[in-house]
Structure 1
Amino acid sequence: MEQIVEANIYLSGLGFKSGGLAAAHAIHNGLTLNEGCRSTLHGEKVAFATIVQLVLEKAPNEEIDQVIDFCKRVGLPVTLKDIGITSSETDKLMVVAEASCSQDSSMWNMPFEVQAVDVLEAILAADERGQ
């Protein structure tokens, strides 16, 4: 059992450094600045942010719906409310979006340029889709 735990720790670190993280984790990091979702788990924020990334990528509607349906089936969040953000005040969400696009974020691994306004629009669209 100890070797399994050590392997998971090692591989998660290796994956983090070599995995080409992009929008979903950058958005997660931005979400941590919103007090409403501070008690939401890392994976829960990343789940919602994955939907946001799909919206940013202009993924096919069927793909986005498939991910939302999966998240709902396994109990992962699909709306802002699900991650503890009860207000969709754009100024507060813009703080999240701007942090998501900071120089040290993984947003720069996206295959196209992403601006904070793009992230804000994608967050709102993902929230609407999740509802």
Structure 2
Amino acid sequence: MTDETTTTETDETPDAVEPEPTPDDLSGDATEKGGDDPESFPRDYVERLRKEAADARVRAKDRDDLAERLHLALVTATGRLADPTDLPYDEAHLEDEAALTAAVDALLARKPHLASRRPAGSVGQGAMTAAEPVSLLGLMRART
């Protein structure tokens, strides 16, 4: 007869070491893991901070919208462009009038067809003073 002996092996190691936590493991809330973390904050405090941050983002967006409207108004006030939206927004134009003028000059040098076509000066139309008699010969001499 043969001797049958069975050997059992165990997978247990006497000094099992837990793996170090990964950043994914640390992303959860401390209360979800069941522990009290001394670096966690009360829920109402966190909600208040989140609300303040959201309000700050809304104010920043409003500020950006107002800054763009101001830029458009400043470009319109120069009267040098037919369409003031042709000059792209730049915050430097709000702070420095010379920078705005230089930007308009540079744009018109590159693209002269964007210039305003509004007539300026006397174009020979409109109401004239009635104190002077109208002289056709005087008008023709003035044009040459």
Coarse TM-score class (shorter-chain normalised): under 0.3
More helix by share: 1
Normalised by the length of structure 1, the TM-score is 0.23
TM-score, normalised on structure 2? 0.22
Structure with higher RCO (Cα < 8 A, 6+ apart):
1
